């Protein structure tokens, strides 16, 4: 049957959902715990996957072995698109890995040899996420490319690079790893990120100040999606 999986990188990104998980059962794997249960009557797998692409890929693999048929990533990101403000939401069109560089062998920046230059999110999950985002009061949602890498971006120069080289809307550390694993399995995914900072010189301060609050926005979107899936 259908099984929706929801991943966040950090406790703040999943805790409200986890608190409401009914008939919860914990599945322990090396490096991560998955929680199975029902959220608003919908059977789900929910997990804090940890930070970075390796943790995200590992967690996604475990989720697939436990029968995940659709995957939603929820969390916070640094805004790259110039229109994005703290608190806004990005729904992924697709994901890239901005820290992959095999240009010395003539592959385009961001391309893993033999793989697609970007991983496309599922059109249905995207549409449902946008609709649900529209119902979160005071929140602006934008569709765009999610750039992932094992780096916290905190400089104008890096933001400029992500914008010009990739046309990225936001920067985070997991989405494209989830996307790459999902693509291999033919499992649809979407990434929903609320903007906690604008990835510039103030990113560190803004992130600490706004992350816990704005993480709620992405979770509210996930909640809104459950009724529609
Ligand atoms: N997550 C939230 N803000 C981020 C940033 N500036 N870079 C990478 N990941 C982030």
CATH code of the domain containing 41: 3.40.50.1580
How far apart CA 120 and CA 183 sit, in angstroms, is 9
Q: What average pLDDT does the segment 150-168 reach? A: 98
- 147 CB within 6 A, ligand 1: no
- 168 CB within 6 A, ligand 1: no
What global pTM score does this model have?
0.97
DSSP secondary structure code for residue 93 in this structure: E
CA of 22 to the centre of ligand 1 (A): 31
DSSP secondary structure code for residue 174 in this structure: S
Residues 6 or more apart whose Cβ sits within 8 Å of residue 208: none
The answer to the question of residue 127 being in a domain is yes
The answer to the question of residue 79 being in a domain is yes
- Expressed as residue numbers, the domain containing 47 is 4-224
- What pLDDT is recorded for position 16? 86
DSSP secondary structure code for residue 179 in this structure: H
Task: Please give the positions annotated as active site.
Answer: 13, 197
- Interface ipTM: 0.99
208 to 139, 196, 204: CA distances (angstroms): 20, 8, 6
Backbone angles phi, psi at 81, to 5 degrees: -55, 130
The answer to the question of residue 163 being in a domain is yes
The answer to the question of residue 182 being in a domain is yes
Confidence of residue 12 (pLDDT cuts 50, 70, 90): confident
DSSP secondary structure code for residue 199 in this structure: S
Q: What average pLDDT does the segment 59-72 reach? A: 98
What is the chain's mean pLDDT, rounded? 96
Number of domains in the chain: 1
pLDDT tens, position by position, 125-157? 999 999 999 999 989 999 999 999 999 999 999
For residues 177 and 60, is the Cβ–Cβ distance under 8 A? yes
Confidence of residue 113 (pLDDT cuts 50, 70, 90): very high
- What pLDDT is recorded for position 218? 85
Q: What average pLDDT does the segment 106-117 reach? A: 97
CA 211 to ligand 1: nearest atom: 2
CA 219-185-32 angle, 5° bins: 50
The answer to the question of residue 28 being in a domain is yes
For residues 224 and 133, is the Cβ–Cβ distance under 8 A? yes
With 90 as the cut, is the pLDDT of residue 103 above it? yes
Confidence of residue 216 (pLDDT cuts 50, 70, 90): confident
The answer to the question of residue 205 being in a domain is yes
- 73 CB within 6 A, ligand 1: no
- 68 CB within 6 A, ligand 1: no
The answer to the question of residue 229 being in a domain is no
CA 198 to ligand 1: nearest atom: 6
With 90 as the cut, is the pLDDT of residue 110 above it? yes
**Residue whose CA lies nearest to ligand 1 atom number 4:** 78
The answer to the question of residue 210 being in a domain is yes
- 191 CB within 6 A, ligand 1: no
């Amino acid at each position: 049957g259908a099984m929706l999986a929801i991943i966040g990188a950090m406790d703040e990104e999943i805790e409200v959902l986890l608190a409401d998980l009914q008939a919860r059962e914990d599945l322990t794997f090396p490096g991560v715990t998955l929680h199975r249960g029902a959220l608003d009557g919908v059977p789900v797998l929910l997990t804090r996957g940890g930070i970075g692409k390796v943790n995200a890929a590992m967690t996604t693999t475990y989720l697939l072995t436990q029968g995940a048929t659709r995957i939603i990533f929820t969390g916070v990101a640094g805004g790259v698109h110039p229109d994005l403000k703290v608190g806004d939401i990005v729904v992924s069109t697709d994901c890239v890995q901005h820290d992959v560089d095999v240009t010395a062998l003539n592959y385009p920046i961001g391309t893993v040899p033999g793989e697609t230059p970007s991983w496309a999110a599922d059109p249905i999950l995207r549409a449902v996420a946008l609709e649900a985002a529209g119902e979160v009061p005071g929140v602006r949602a934008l569709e765009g490319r999610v750039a992932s890498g094992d780096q916290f971006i905190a400089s104008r120069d890096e933001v400029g690079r992500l914008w010009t080289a990739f046309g990225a809307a936001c920067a985070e550390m997991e989405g494209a790893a989830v996307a790459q694993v999902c693509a291999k399995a033919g499992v649809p995914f979407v990434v929903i990120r609320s903007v906690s900072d604008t990835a510039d010189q103030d990113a560190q301060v803004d992130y600490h100040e706004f992350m816990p609050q704005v993480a709620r926005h992405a979770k509210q979107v996930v909640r809104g999606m459950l009724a529609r899936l």
